[in-house]
Structure formats: structure tokens, C-alpha cells
Amino acid sequence: MSNENLHNGLERLNQDVVAEPPRKKKGVVREYVEALLVAVVLAFFIRSFIVEPFKIPSKSMVPTLLVGDHIFVNKFIYGLRIPGTKKWFLQFGEPKRGDVIVFIYPEDEKLDFIKRVVGVPGDHVQMKDDKFYVNDVEVMEEEIPVVGVDPKDKRRLLVSEAEAVEKIPPPFRRIPFYRGFENYKIQMENLTGYNHMIQRSRMLPNNEEIDLVVPPDNFYVMGDNRDQSADSRVWGFVPRKNLKGKALFIWLSLDSDRGGIRLKRFGKKII
């Protein structure tokens, strides 16, 4: 084959090969938009099915939770429901006595409430002679001897060391300061074999008698600020379908009384 024929053949071969166009790089704007969409979808999934943040706006759960506490709530502990509805497509686990739960307020479903479960389906709940009973067993209470503000830490209350050594477990000796604490008796309450804190008013105790049985698929709830809480004693039971989740821990606490941040409450488990 002559050089001329070889040259012509190579030219025809080159003409038959279609060059692949260069790949276009993603624009910076497109990359940011895609990352934002992924973040939004992920955040929606986490808030709807795993954990959701809530802010404590009222004093109904003092001293367990204070105004300005920001908490995380476990959304899947009791099951999974369609976001924005009360329709559950999977249910597992039930609230127990002593659980602090977030739920859709039965009288205004645009609002979320947080309270403590004190009665589960079938429980006989009574309040008589200023004593609380569940299934005819008195719920034991022990006063925590608060003697004032801790001089070493203005954001804490001081518990009598003499009495604390004998009967107050360490977790209940570290009580955050809040205005008006001197008007209350701070107590440990034992609903289920372990303690949590409540408070009772020294000036205006609510001694209204209760005698009822919690119906199926409902829960009876109270605020830990027992004498200043609008709860099941006022508006009735919480239907199971209204549940949103169980309170886990505090991730941020803004001090509405003294200003600033309550750093020592960060990460505190809610019991």
C-alpha cells in the first residue's frame, strides 16, 4: 500500500470517529441547592420520626423543667405516625407511669403540651386527704430540704447537707434556681420505683379530690408543678393517638430569671 493510500485511509478513519463532548461540571449554585435539599429532607425525616426539639414556655413542669429549657423528644419510642396527622401506621411500646411526654393538646390541636404520665389505661387514680394514690397504693413523697440560694453558685438552690447525706440522692441535691422557689415545697415523688421531682404550693395548694379509672387508649397526666398546672384534672385524658414522644434531655437552657445561659443543665436527662 502506498503512503498516499495509507494517509487517505487514516483520514477517513478519523472522520468516522465521533469525539465525546466534554462533560459539564455542576455549577456552584446547583451544588448548593442539591446540598440544601438533601439537608431539608434529612431534617424533615429526623424531626418527623426520630427526635424533635421543643422549648418549654411555661412553669407547669417546674422544678423538673424550667422556662427557657430546650429539650429533645424521642419521636419513635411509641411508634411511627404520618407527619402532621394523628394516624399511626406502626405502634410499639406504651407510655409508662412516670414518663414525661409531649402530646397534641386535646382541646386545641394546634398546641403541643408536656406533662408527666401518672395514670395508664386501667389505673385507679385517687387524690384524697392531700395524698395521691394509684391502684389504692399511696404514692410516696419526700421533701427536699432547700435552705436558700447556693452562695457559691447563684444559679443553684442550696440543699441542707445534713439531711441530704442521709436520704436525698445526689441527682436531687442539684436544683436550679428559679424565682419564687421559697413559696413551694420541693419533693421527690416515687411513682414507679424511682424518684422524680415535683413541687407543692405552700400558699395555694390544690387539694381537689380525684377518683377515677383511666379508660383504654388514654393516659392521665399532671404537671410537676402540681398546684399550678392545667392538666388532666382540668381538661381530661390524653388519647393515645395524640402522643408525639417522650422527653429525653435538655440541650440548651436560657435563664429567664437571671439572664444568660444555664450551662450546667446542658445534657441533663429528664427524669
Handedness of CA 175, 178, 179, 181 (dihedral sign): negative
**Residue 96 annotated among the catalytic residues of the structure:** no
What are the pLDDT digits (tens) for 241-259? 999 999 999 999 999 888 8
Handedness of CA 185, 191, 193, 194 (dihedral sign): negative
Selecting among 60, 229, 232, 253, the annotated active-site residue is 60
pLDDT of residue 10: 46
The mean pLDDT of 173-199, rounded to a whole number, is 92
**Residue 60 annotated among the catalytic residues of the structure:** yes
Beta-sheet pairing, 218-222 with 243-253: unpaired
What are the pLDDT digits (tens) for 54-66? 999 999 999 999 9
CATH architecture of 54-265: Ribbon (2.10)
Selecting among 59, 75, 115, 244, the annotated active-site residue is 115
Q: Is the pTM of this model over 0.75?
A: yes
pLDDT of residue 193: 79
pLDDT band at 24 (very low <50, low <70, confident <90, very high): low
pLDDT at 5 over 80: no
pLDDT band at 21 (very low <50, low <70, confident <90, very high): low
| Inter-residue contact 200 to 222 (CB < 8 Å) | no
Helix, strand, coil percentages in the chain from 3-state DSSP, rounded to 5? 20, 35, 45
pLDDT at 160 over 80: yes
For the chain, give every domain's residue range. 54-265
